[in-house]
Structure formats: structure tokens, C-alpha cells
Amino acid sequence: MDTLWVRIVAFFTTILVSITSLFGISAGRVVPLTKKNPDIPACQAGLFCGGFESSGSTVIDKYQRISAQDYEDYLSLLQESGYALYDAREIEDNRFATLTDNEHSVHLSYYPRTRIMRIVVEELGTLCKLDDPYETVCDTLLTGMKGETVVAAEGMGFIIRLADGSFCIIDGGMGDPDGVDADKLMNILLAQKPAGTQKPVIAAWLFSHLHGDHIGVFNCFSLAHHDDVVIEQLVFNFPKEEEVQKSDSPYMLDDTIYRYTQFKKNLAEFYPDVPVLKVHTGDRFAVRNARFDVLFTLDDLYPKSIMNGGMNDSSLLLKMTIDGQTTLWTGDFGANSVKTVLSEFSTETLSSDTLQLAHHGMNGTVDFYSAVDPSFALLPVWEGGYEHMRNLQQNQWLINSPNLRQLIVTGQGTWTICLPYDPVPGTFERIPPDDYVNPSYPQLLGE
């Protein structure tokens, strides 16, 4: 009888593994991974549906059929167990909290529409700055940097000069062996830094995901200019290498200048003391006069992962607010990411003044873009690809939207605008024709 029972269990286990493999689902652990830490109380409510290991020390337990009271009860239980509440907030009806003890941080997220709760546990590291005091000395600028190399066809690099003259960089673009784009970035920082400042200060360098056309310039910049700037913090949430190896992007582990391997070498050699902020959905953080809300990270994918939808699905979704004007940074946002976000947030949250088109115009959906409904759109795409990208369904919806005032294509020329942005009529074509070239840096557009 025992042998028969073992065979039955083995049979159904095989079926389960086959199903998860067929549908691209990463099987999680049967026992909550948070139970590995005896100091973290177990959640007794709802239906446990998987424990998942992310990069570094991060583990994620996912529960379904959770009520609002279940969430509040577990939040209270964590505090009773010695965890101090660092931050708690609501976005729509969704609830988020970060708690810490001397060794760990716990990030809770609860979505009443789907009745899903995630418990993210990791070793205590850098926490989000809820405030970042500064003195205003200059206008806030946003620069879209056109890559100058052939391999920069799909690169993305945005530079924000903040009100105190420091900088926040979004990705950077594809690196190049000759350092052309790294030097170009350095020249922009030097030209825009306040007079009398010895070195440009990068208050935060944010990375949407680890593809080479987003981290490559950072790699080349670090090799050439690490002593020429001050970097205060790095912000990202990357997958673990085992998932990268099995994803659509195993080449990111190659030992070349554009890859994740070089990225890690740079961190260890040049920035060993620079804090790394690993963000999670629901986090909020300040960088001088910019405020960021984290609306999606790869934590939200499980039981799926980048091994199913690809590396682009690990892109952060960040909503930035500067002087009341909002920008939604999507990186290379993928199909699974879009589906998840639309199930968790409504137009109330996603609506933004400015939208960075996902994956250089290749990704995104009509449903997603209509929820954002921007006044301005930023398209980081190479000049030759713009004609194709503009004809995709989601981009045609955006171009024809009566609320869209302007589409700015970085591949047609490096540009700089003032934030908050109110364009002077005629500075940019509303929808640039194929042969249009944006005014080159350092011309400033807007009031």
C-alpha cells in the first residue's frame, strides 16, 4: 500500500512539473521560504501558492485569498515579533509596508482586487530615502542622449539635472569600446553642473533592467570616468544569474564590456562603498526634488519569471514626480509586466503627464497606454527604427490621441528640456516627420 501511495504521489508530481514547464511557470517551494528565518512569523491566512528565490538574499512568498484584515493582522504580527515599521502607504486600495529588524527587511504588498499578498524578505541593506533635503540653485533639466555608435541602435539614456545641481541618470545606453557615448555623457554632466562645482554629483543612477543597451554606457563610463564624478547611490532590482542563464539573454553573463559581468566588476572595483538600493513594488524614495514611486519589479512576476517572458519583463516601472509633473519610466516593459500592472493598478495611478515608450517603441499595449494617457511621450529609438515603430498599433493609438501634445524621438538628436515641461510652440514638431532632427544639446526648450 505504501509503495502504491508513493507511486501515486510521484505520478501527480510528474504531471505538475510537466504542466508548469508547458505553461512557462517556475515552480516554487511547497514550504514558505520565509520559514527559513525563525524570526519571521508564519502567515496562517489565505492560500500559500509558492516560495521563490530572487537575486541576492531575497526570497518571496506569495499568498492568495487574502483579505484586508488578513493583511493588517500579519502586519501587526510582524511588529509584535520585533519588526519596526519603516514605511507604510496605500496606492489606491493597495497596501504596502516595509519593516526592519537588525538583520532583515520585510516588504509587504497587498492587492485587494486580486486578493494577493507578497512577503519579500532579504538581508537588511540600503533603505529608501523618504526625504532628501536640498537647496535649489538651478533649474531642473531632462536630457535625452542620442547614442553615437552603431551598436547603440536600441540604447536608452536620460539625464536629469536636479534642483541642487546634482544628477539622476536613468539607464545610460549601449556602451562602446571607444568610449564615445561615455565621453558624451561626461561632457553633458560637465556642461550642466553648477559653476564652482568641482565634480558632477550623481545623486542616483537608476537602472531599469540589465540589458546591455541600458547598462553598457555605465560600464564604459565607469572604466573611463569613475574618478571624475561622485556617485551617491545605485538603484536596481536585477534577477539572479541562474534565471539570466536560462532566459532569452544568457549572453549578459559573457565577459564583454556591455554585460552584467562587467557591471559587477565595476561595482566591486570602483564603487565598493556606494550604497545599492534594491527597490520593491510599493517603495517610494526621494532624490533631491524628484520623487519616485515603484509600481512594478520582477518580484511581481512569480511564479513566472524572465525565463518565460524574457529579460524585458524584469524592467522596473517608476513614476517620477517633479514639481507636480509626472513621468512614467517603463524601460523595456514586457507583456507579462503590462498584464500584471493592469491587474493591480488603475488609471488613477498609471496616469502620467509624460510617458517613456516601452522597449524603444516595440512593447506596450493600447490598454496600457490609454491608462497612462500622456501629454508628452519620449521615444528612445534609433533614427532608422522610428519609421517602423510609429506604425505599431499601440504607438498609432498614442500618436492619434487628442491629449498628446508632443512626441520626442531621441534617435533624431540629443535634446534638453526644462522640468516641469511646457513647450514653446514650434520648438518641436508635435509628431516629428522622418527627416526631422531635434535641436541639439545644449539648447533648452520650454519656459
Is 10 domain-assigned?
no
Residue after which a domain boundary falls, among 76, 91, 122: 122
Residue after which a domain boundary falls, among 91, 122, 153: 122
Residues 6+ apart with CB under 8 A from 333: 296, 312, 313, 315, 317, 358, 359, 363, 364, 368
Distance from CA of residue 212 to its chain's centroid? 15
Output the furthest CA–CA distance in the chain (Å, rounded).
Answer: 83
| C-alpha to C-alpha distance for 411 and 156, rounded to whole angstroms | 10
| C-alpha to C-alpha distance for 386 and 365, rounded to whole angstroms | 17
Q: How much is the pLDDT for 57?
A: 94
Domain count, the chain: 2
Q: How much is the pLDDT for 28?
A: 55
Is 130 domain-assigned?
no
Is 257 domain-assigned?
yes
Q: How much is the pLDDT for 11?
A: 45
Does residue 183 share a domain with residue 110?
no
Peptide bond into 442 cis (omega under 30): yes
| C-alpha to C-alpha distance for 97 and 87, rounded to whole angstroms | 6
Does residue 172 share a domain with residue 109?
no
Note whether 147 and 174 are within 8 A (CB). yes
Sites in the chain below the pLDDT cut of 50: 1-2, 6-27, 152, 447
Torsion of CA 185, 191, 197, 201, to 10 degrees: -30
Question: What pTM did the predictor assign?
Answer: 0.93
Does residue 45 share a domain with residue 187?
no
Residue after which a domain boundary falls, among 92, 122, 152: 122
Does residue 157 share a domain with residue 257?
yes
Does residue 58 share a domain with residue 195?
no
Q: How much is the pLDDT for 150?
A: 60
Residues 6+ apart with CB under 8 A from 404: 374, 375, 376, 377, 398, 430
Q: How much is the pLDDT for 9?
A: 40
Q: How much is the pLDDT for 439?
A: 75
Q: How much is the pLDDT for 32?
A: 80
Is 360 domain-assigned?
yes
Is 7 domain-assigned?
no
Does residue 192 share a domain with residue 59?
no
Q: For the domain that residue 387 is a member of, what is the CATH number?
A: 3.60.15.10
**What's the domain range around 67?**
22-122
| C-alpha to C-alpha distance for 81 and 249, rounded to whole angstroms | 41
Is 134 domain-assigned?
no
Does residue 99 share a domain with residue 197?
no
For the chain, the three-class secondary structure string (H helix, E strand, C coil) is CHHHHHHHHHHHHHHHHHHHHHCCCCCCECCCHHHHCCCCCCCCCCEEEEEEECCCCCEEEEEECCCHHHHHHHHHHHHHCCCEEEEEEEECCEEEEEEECCCEEEEEEEECCCCEEEEEEEECCCCCCCCCCCCCCCCEEEEECCCCCHHHCCCCEEEEECCCCCEEEEECCCCCCCCHHHHHHHHHHHHHCCCCCCCCEEEEEECCCCCHHHHHHHHHHHHHHCCCCEECCEEECCCCHHHHHHCCCHHHHCCCCCCHHHHHHHHHHHCCCCCEEECCCCCEEEECCEEEEEEECHHHHCCCCHHHHCHHHHCCEEEEEECCEEEEECCCCCHHHHHHHHHHCCHHHHCCCEEECHHHHCCCCHHHHHHHCCCEEEECCCHHHHHHHCCCHHHHHHHCCCCCCEEEEHHHCCEEEEECCCCCCCCCCCCCCCCCCCCCCCCEECC
Q: How much is the pLDDT for 14?
A: 38
| C-alpha to C-alpha distance for 74 and 44, rounded to whole angstroms | 9
Q: For the domain that residue 26 is a member of, what is the CATH number?
A: 3.30.310
Does residue 145 share a domain with residue 101?
no
Does residue 180 share a domain with residue 96?
no
Is 60 domain-assigned?
yes
Does residue 199 share a domain with residue 280?
yes
Q: How much is the pLDDT for 175?
A: 83
Q: How much is the pLDDT for 13?
A: 38
